[in-house]
Amino acid sequence: MISEKMKPLVNNNSAIRAMFEEGAQMKAVYGADQVYDFSLGNPNVPAPKEVKEAIYDILENEESTYVHGYMSNAGFPSTRKAIAESLNRRFGTSFGPDNIIMTVGAASGLNVALKTLLNPGDEVVTFAPYFVEYGSYVGNYDGKLVVVPADTKTFQPNLEAFSEKLSEKTRAVIINTPHNPTGVIYSEETLKKLAAILEEQQKKNGSPIFLLSDEPYRELAYDGAVVPYVTKYYNNTIVGYSYSKSLSLPGERIGYLVIPDELEDSETVITAATIATRVSGAVNAPSLMQLVIERCVDAQCDVGYYERNRNALYNGLKELGFECIKPQGAFYLWVKSPVEDEKAFVAKGKEYHILMVPGSSFACPGYVRLAYCVSYETILNSMPAFKALAEEYKL
Ligand code: PLP
């Protein structure tokens, strides 16, 4: 009945749904406050008040045919200008409105970029652990995802293994910083090394390799950590940004791509990406949200809220003897499973009403991910359950 390509996705979806339903069932039986659900990356910090004010202002003061109408497939020129200017102010770049294409979140941005760049059989390299949807996105355009194993000491990209995975078929590389699921931020030094490796491989191949920087967590960085702007290190970079996390708007589906002038054949790539937005079926990013972003271009959610959660969860688990990577950004804690089979650890966690995602869902078994975009009280209340779990494993 359904296509061969969809069959594995349908099977996999049942597993995800089973996890989701199990969580909902546990909450119904024990009460939501007795279940410590760290499974989902859905922001719990409200959108900043500027967003609501902008929505009211637009609806009251703008012509409705303009607010709700079609516009250029790349988005409103005024919105793209506001974003370009904000990036230039903050990162010392020199983008213009033409370098920005509005997208339906980061997911759609990546799809537009991959549709623009990939021929069937092209390879796209990424680093484990990785956001599992990358595999589906690359598969949408008949590309092949090539996975670099993790450097489990630092969870910075494993650059030695990376060089070995590049080939004449490499067309793109996807990085994600700040990172889901580890919370690491790629350092400037790492990005420079990665860029040098790519420059060398481009020369060997005699054709460009594009670096896709997936950045929905750019604004969620802690302890004053700097998130280097990737276009500064490598010309053939496309940045995919999203407001899903930085403004807590995941359901509104709004983000953008940056395609710099320095990128090879940039004018054609920008035109192709604009057409890809149209023919992918998105047509354009949601118009009301584009106008909201134009007014809220420098607004931010309460990053301090996530930082407090990070501190409570990380310090709490460390004290109990768990081995974790201290997150520099995003809102995930990456914890080493006390036993090799992390799925058994996840199952044991459920006995204590703790919901975690196994690392094998990110192509990195032996670890689990905890999403701490939950209430602070959930973290404090979960500590006795984690203590009991630690005792199970004699940590
Ligand atoms: N990339 C990463 C690494 C993510 O974690 C997510 C969402 O969780 C996305 C992309 C998709 O984000 P969006 O909601 O903007 O499509």
Asked if residue 321 lies in contact with residue 378, where contact means CB atoms within 8 angstroms, the answer is no
- What spacing in Å lies between the alpha carbon of 246 and ligand 1's midpoint? 11
**Interacting residues of 4 by C-beta distance below 8 A, sequence separation 6+:** none
- What spacing in Å lies between the alpha carbon of 79 and ligand 1's midpoint? 21
- Helix axis angle, 287-295 to 77-91, nearest 10°: 40
Which ligand 1 atom sits nearest the alpha carbon of residue 179? 3
Q: Where are the domains of the chain?
A: 6-47+301-392, 49-295
- Rounded to two decimals, the pTM is 0.97
Q: What is the pLDDT along the chain (395 residues), one digit of tens a residue?
A: 899 999 988 888 876 677 778 889 999 999 999 999 999 899 999 999 999 999 999 999 999 999 999 999 999 999 999 999 999 999 999 999 999 999 999 999 999 999 999 999 999 999 999 999 999 999 999 999 999 999 999 999 999 999 999 999 999 999 999 999 999 999 999 999 999 999 999 999 999 999 999 999 999 999 999 999 999 999 999 999 999 999 999 999 999 999 999 999 999 999 999 999 999 999 999 999 999 999 999 999 999 999 999 999 999 999 999 999 999 999 999 999 999 999 999 999 999 999 999 999 999 999 999 999 999 999 999 999 999 999 999 99
Question: Quick check: CB of 176 below 6 Å from ligand 1?
Answer: yes
Which ligand 1 atom sits nearest the alpha carbon of residue 104? 16
With CA atoms as reference, report the closest residue to 170 among 135, 207, 142.
207
Which is the CATH superfamily of the domain at 6-47+301-392? Aspartate Aminotransferase, domain 1 (3.90.1150.10)
C-alpha–C-alpha distance, residues 269 and 172, integer Å: 14
**49-295: CATH number:** 3.40.640.10
Q: Say how many Å lie between the first and final Cα of the chain, rounded.
A: 50
- What spacing in Å lies between the alpha carbon of 154 and ligand 1's midpoint? 22
C-alpha–C-alpha distance, residues 74 and 279, integer Å: 12
SS3 call for 264: coil
- What spacing in Å lies between the alpha carbon of 239 and ligand 1's midpoint? 13
**Interacting residues of 91 by C-beta distance below 8 A, sequence separation 6+:** 229, 232
Q: Which two tokens stand for residue 183?
A: 């919370």
**Interacting residues of 67 by C-beta distance below 8 A, sequence separation 6+:** 58, 59, 287, 288, 291
With CA atoms as reference, report the closest residue to 105 among 200, 241, 224.
241
Identity of the amino acid at 133: E
C-alpha 379: how far from chain center: 23
Question: Quick check: CB of 41 below 6 Å from ligand 1?
Answer: yes
Asked if residue 283 lies in contact with residue 277, where contact means CB atoms within 8 angstroms, the answer is yes
| Protein residue with its CA nearest to atom 12 in ligand 1 | 106
C-alpha–C-alpha distance, residues 337 and 144, integer Å: 30
Q: Do domains 6-47+301-392 and 49-295 have the same CATH topology?
A: no
Identity of the amino acid at 91: F
- What spacing in Å lies between the alpha carbon of 277 and ligand 1's midpoint? 17
